[in-house]
Amino acid sequence: MNLSCGLIALVLFSFKVALSNSIDLIFILPIILLGIIRYKEIFIIFKNLFFLNLFIVLVGISVSLYGNFHQALVIFGRSNLIILFSLLVFHKSNAFDVAFALNRLKIGSKASSIFYFCIKFIEEFRYEFIRLKKTLKARGFIPTTSLFTYKIYANLVAMLFINAFYKAEILEKTFIIRNFKGRFFHQHKQKIGFVDILLIILCICIYIFHIKIVL
């Protein structure tokens, strides 16, 4: 599947679903198509959707507590449709693939570069945090409510920021040496297939046609 077409389809689908006051049955058609494409990984995708629903359920409960149960159901349904669509489109794709997909859409080399580096530094933060966490565990650190624990956490956050600035400085010098012009090049070119065109057509159809309203 072409990720650039997937991004376009996601934007079209998300805008329509998010701005609708109700849930239409036609919203399910693009998801059915993606489900057929990803049928081998459908169990893993729904498993990820289940864990992502924990936050959505809390939002739905908070809305229903104010007496608007129908609105809570609509929020729950819309959120699940958008998240499921995203999981089906970008399954087995990492954030860097998404950055290159943005670059292929010609929305601007700076925008795709900023997105790429944001993801890169988030990954670096995560890896460094895991490394420091394992180091503390190996040294027998047990978190409590003492002042010593708060100092350890403060030092941990400080080390993460220092490491981020250090790596950013190294990256900047590397780009200067390599004469970086703010644009990335990808070796593999993704072709637009029949499924990609059909997916975009279905996402356009949800703006035109209406089937029976579910919620």
Q: Hey, where are the domains in the chain?
A: 3-100+189-208, 108-177
pLDDT tens across 161-195, in order? 888 788 878 877 887 787 776 666 666 666 788 88
What is each CA distance from 33 to 28, 50, 142, 196, 211, in whole angstroms? 9, 20, 49, 10, 17
Percent of the chain at pLDDT exceeding 70: 93
In this structure, what is the dihedral angle of CA atoms 169, 170, 172, 174, given to the nearest 10 degrees?
170
Q: Is the pLDDT of residue 36 over 70?
A: yes
